[in-house]
Amino acid sequence: MTSLELLDIARTVALEAGELIARRRSEGVEVADRKSSPVDVVTFADRESEQFIQSRIAELRPQDGFFGEEGADSSSQSGLTWIVDPIDGTVNYLYGIPRYAVSIGVVEGDANPAGWTQLAGAVNNPVLGELYTAAAGHGAYLGNTRLHVNNETDISLALVATGFSYTSSERAEQAEIVRRMLPVVRDIRRAGAASLDLCAVAAGRLDGYFERGTKPWDFAAGTLIVLEAGGVVGGLGGAAFGNDMVLATNSALFGPLEELIAG
């Protein structure tokens, strides 16, 4: 199956799941559990959305693996794995802030970024009706509009986004990075959904995004969308992007932002 055919599945299921979570949000949100800390919540809609996505993928691609934020995990018999965040930006979802999304990526390999080859991804913000998509080798799109990262080369004019851990000790380290960066760049944004921040870089709404501690479901789709929009995504010191760091921007700003982050 080609990357475009896989994208058709990702797009369809992301739209269907987006309708589901938007409907559940209108009915009222209930916290189901807490994860890494008392403020790191999961709603019943997170679980329902993941179960829905897993069942739809199983119908359409029964030999593929699945890896979801809420615990769904099945090994692949085909060599392909679907990596899913059923609601990225759950706290935004809880509060009714319109910055949350369904993120669906499919890779050749497993959920380890060091060994995968990204094939297709879709990120759907159902509140704003914005669907970001990419297939390997075929560009990135917002709806039918092709995306390209900004060409900004001056770091003092760069608008940069980041995110923060739900663990207080990690937040302190992240605050130190922001302290170094804030006097140097145009400004910093923190919107609360990694997948949408990555898509904003691809769409030119941001010049860069960085975050430590993200998981494969946070960036499996969004990083491909940045790459297909002509951007650069990596870690620090030549490392690949992953849990330690995801830095997404253009080729001119990658080095200066990496230097600021590394200190």
Separation CA 98–CA 108 (nearest Å): 32
Strand 246-249 and strand 232-234: pairing? antiparallel
Separation CA 140–CA 226 (nearest Å): 7
Q: Do 139 and 159 reside in the same domain of the chain?
A: no
CB-CB contact of 87 with 63 (8 Å): no
Supply the CATH number for residue 189's domain: 3.40.190.80
Q: Do 101 and 160 reside in the same domain of the chain?
A: no
CB-CB contact of 208 with 161 (8 Å): yes
Identify the band that residue 1 occupies on the pLDDT scale cut at 50, 70 and 90. Answer: confident
Supply the CATH number for residue 120's domain: 3.30.540.10
Q: Do 32 and 140 reside in the same domain of the chain?
A: yes
pLDDT in tens, 241-255: 999 999 999 999 999
Q: Do 71 and 110 reside in the same domain of the chain?
A: yes
| Residues found in the chain | 263
Say which range, 39-53, 60-74, 131-145, 207-221, has the weakest mean pLDDT: 39-53
User: Does residue 170 carry a pLDDT above 60?
Assistant: yes
Say which range, 67-71, 144-148, 177-181, 189-193, has the weakest mean pLDDT: 67-71
Token pair recorded at residue 43: 């709603």
Question: Which residues are catalytically annotated?
Answer: 69, 85, 87-88, 90, 218
The residues, any chain, with a CB within 8 Å of residue 130's CB and separated by 6 or more, are 124, 142, 143
Residue-number span of the structural domain to which 104 is assigned: 3-146
- What's the pLDDT at 33? 61
Can you list the pairs that 55-58 forms with residues at least 24 positions away whose Cβ atoms lie under 8 Å? 56/13, 56/16, 56/17, 57/9, 57/13, 57/82
